[in-house]
Structure 1
Amino acid sequence: MSDGDTIPHETPTRRDYLKYGGAVIGGAAFAGCTADSGSESTPTATGTDSDAVTSADDEATDGTYTVTMSPMGEVEFESPPETVFTRLTHHADMAFALGRGDGINAMHAPDYYDQLWNQFVERLPGVSLDWTGLYSSWEVGKEKLYELDSDVHLADPASVLALGSWSMADIEEIEQNISPWFGNSFSAGQQTPPDNWEGDYEYPSLWEQFEKVAEVFQEKERYEALAEIRAEMLTTIEADLPSESERPTAVMVGSADIEGDIYAYTLSNPGFLTAHTRPLKPRDAFEGSVESGSVIDLEMLLEADPDVMLFLGGMLPTTDMGELRATLESNAVGAEITAVENGRTHPQGARYQGPILNLFQLEMTAKQLYPEQFGEWPSYDNGPYPEIPEDEQLFDRQRVADIINGAF
């Protein structure tokens, strides 16, 4: 029987007795609520992205508590979750940041992202991460969710519905019989949810969403400590950011097939995919003529002629930036690109970043774009995130490690 087959579960489960504050998935119950605007707010069709979250309600007298975020609406929890189902890495990173990394039982491409995340975790003293061997959850089915029996599904129910093998009734069944859904994925680029999604959809920023996930786990202090580190870094960046005329033109491209079909990504789109590049305000090398995710070739790159090229996936253990640079330098077209000529071709990690990767990527991209202001990015071919002298770091590694480990 396939993973997505529907099987009725008529006997009560351990979740049957839970109340959800009168809110169920779908319909008017999924209308968003208002909130104070956040630093990454962007107007949307259904309101601003800060409309997607509200303050947590007071804890109920019976020990339950509610957390509200689009697209779920108000969700009630009996206690902080211990076992955590995720699909995308921004949610997995949030659980990891809150000291819940060991509770994750599923995620998309776990072995791939385990390799990538550990390139950064290497620089956090006393912190470990192991996602190898987890269930790969992109094409998840209901029966697998019953088998995992997670305390929370840290995943966007609308994105699961978009798989095509799920109905709203299936989404509600999992919420009622196993545990709540709690996540938002279409805020990545402020995409439109599937037509069969019942209810409004709003777009919290990465750190607004992280704050709500922290409330789910009752880890407000951890969130506030990490948010303070990010705020300090953004203050430093804002204070030293060059004027617009002095900023380089830049583009992010995939590193997989640099002499063939190249995926290009712009750096200032709304949504959390650009949460580490948008604050740095580089100039778009394409001047708006190429949409993010478009396929281009080296001739189009040369026409745009960016001052800086950022390579998505460049931090993977399987990627050798030295070889990639050599390929470009030996290519008649690639060698003429200004970024290649000036040695300004740099690695990137992942766009589906959570708070920990966001801190590292803010730092690395600031140095890659503005070495005179924030210190030069070290020469990098492969291996873990390079060691940066303490006086040139834009955030305190030990402080972040202590927060993850609960020793702050």
Structure 2
Amino acid sequence: MIEKARSPSAVLLLACFWLSPASATTDYRIETFTEGLEYPWSMAFLPDGRMLVTERGGRLRIIAASGQLQEQAVGGLPEIYATSQAGLLDVVLDPEFEQNQRIFFSYSYGDRSANNTRLASARLVDGQLQDVKTLFTALPAKAGSSHYGGRIAFLPDNSLLLTLGDGFDYREQAQDLSNHLGKIVRINRDGSVPEDNPFVDVKDAAPEVYSYGHRNVQGIVYAPQLKRVYSHEHGPRGGDELNLIKPGVNYGWPLITYGVDYNGAQISPYTELPGLEQPLLQWTPSVAPSSLMLYSGSGFKYWKGDLFASTLAEKSVRRIRMKNGMLAGQEVLFEELDERIRGVFGGPDGNIYLLTDNAEGRVLKVIPTE
């Protein structure tokens, strides 16, 4: 167990955005809740107190309310392409789960020469998946094993958003509306295309596309009080972004970027161009944002309504303070763990749960001590 009082210091992050002190000191302790996971990627809280956790290698696990990891993985998953960044990705409960026992999950399909992201649904019955249905398949299938996106967010109109990546070697395709690379797509829960999607009536455009010009979006949340969608995406070397997502908008990748290629080469000379949306904030050097959460619990009263982004490279969680719907500074949390954090989630108990990104992955529980 790690226990530490937090009182963040103010240091300059960017010319336009800053790390700022919290409105009040928040004390917490961090406990290991579950061990024995292999590269956990996402988690969902079941109504009976148990949890579902995805392992990137292709297993869906159940954790008891006590934290005990069930030895037997959930059966019934479809075939998954699992290597490098590819594998079993997000898992979320249907908003009506208690009535229909339905879950949604994303994963990589195909093989090394032809693969992409897929979204499916199923009913969870007695530790098994039943009635598995493919709802969406990102096209085209491409080579490689990088940049799948994969995060899911429900909207109040019974539709959902799925984030996708640009496939790494296909970044120019993020500007091509005829495919799903480098896009956020919107579909109904049954897999059909909403009639009011922004490009439904545009010739040769993929009708599922909601926004485009993205690199690799691994965090997305809907903020119900503000009626807004926030997402973040990995930049190359620098230029990670937090964006306010609006239908039909072009977020610029790779025409504009605050980052450079991994070898130091220039990707674009532009950080802004007419008609291309600017990020709400950008992180340079990269923090590698890996999931996004809007905290709505009661455990951390000073954090309620703030955004939280887990990071891989920085080995932290970024608290992005919100005030009257506006960004109001940042705080770096949990860096004392010195671990890559794959996911940050608000639990129904008001605590915050973290997933560590390694072969001996853990679920950590952050508990307020004030």
With the length of structure 2 as denominator, give the TM-score of the two structures.
0.28
Structure number with the higher strand fraction is: 2
Rg larger in structure: 1
Higher helix share: 1
Question: Structure 1-normalised TM-score?
Answer: 0.27
Q: Which has the higher contact order (CA 8 A, sep 6+)?
A: 1
